[in-house]
Amino acid sequence: MKLFRAALAYACLIALPATADPFPQRPEPSAVTIHYGEDPLQDLDFWRAVGFQKAASLVLFVHGGGWKRGSKDNATGRFKAPHFTAEGYAFASIDYRLVPEATVEQQAQDVADALAALLAQADSLGIARGKVVLMGHSAGAHLVALVGTDPRYLSKAGLSYADIRGVIAVDGAAYDVPAQMTERSPIMGRTYAQAFGPDPARQRALSPTLQAAAANAPAFLLLHVQRPDGIRQAQALETALRKAGTAVERESFAGKGLQGHMEINRNLGDPAYPATASVDRWLARVFR
């Protein structure tokens, strides 16, 4: 019965149209909206660091939503932009094109292109070049991890791993796509099939864990709650990154199932939420 209720709750959530906002929170008035492509979804909101006197490090956030929904507005919640800008960082939250109109490859390219658009205006926006962290939740965690393990996306945008300091992946569960799809999840099976398709070669190419043997972003922080598939996937990505000689840390937090998965995104940035302090410490180290 608990599994049925969880499945029903998730089905209700993913049945919402792409414009629905389960956690309404519009950008603060101080946010600047920047378009980085011709599609209406290729835009981002940018906040300057509070009281900045010089160029600030940038945290760029990528929302989740099963690759097929979600937005930059509901993804930031109440806490992220106020918290990170108060910590002295510039902050950006991006929209990207959605499945099925776009492919996952195009979504990863949107992440890289959004960063390139920000760095093209680095001087006027007050962004420190070379001091960027990509952060994403759920499907967004997969996308930032993919950009952080496959250099082709940044390269196509005219960037490289010299332009970023690291990646924070928050409660993703698709770092190894073939492994996830063999589980045939009753809740997410169709979502994975729609996003990644039946071709094993494509599934491998879109798997950060399976791309991690090559050059990677300099450092990773993997956060997860108590979802069995999320734990397995984070552990496997951690192992692959360590084997490649890439700096990686993994931290586990309370929260089960869909509720925990949503809470870590909604509460990240709240000083009372344990993951916030972990992210703050990690950012302080990688931005030194």
Q: CA dist 48 to 72, 78, 111, 135, 270, Å?
A: 16, 17, 19, 17, 19
The domains found in the chain, sorted by start residue, are 29-286 (3.40.50.1820)
Q: What is the pLDDT of residues 225-258, one digit of tens each?
A: 999 999 999 999 999 999 999 999 999 999 999 9
Poorest-pLDDT segment among 12-16, 86-90, 106-110, 277-281: 12-16
Does residue 281 have a pLDDT over 90? Answer: yes
pTM of the model: 0.90
* CA separation for the pair 94, 35 (Å, rounded): 10
Does residue 68 have a pLDDT over 60? Answer: yes
pLDDT of residue 7: 40
pLDDT of residue 116: 98
- Mean pLDDT over 195-222 rounds to 97
- The mean pLDDT of the chain is 90
- Mean pLDDT over 110-131 rounds to 97
Does residue 23 have a pLDDT over 60? Answer: no
pLDDT of residue 2: 39
Does residue 91 have a pLDDT over 60? Answer: yes
Q: What is the CA radius of gyration of the chain?
A: 17
pLDDT of residue 19: 36
Sign, Cα dihedral of 121, 127, 128, 132: negative
pLDDT of residue 123: 95
pLDDT of residue 17: 35
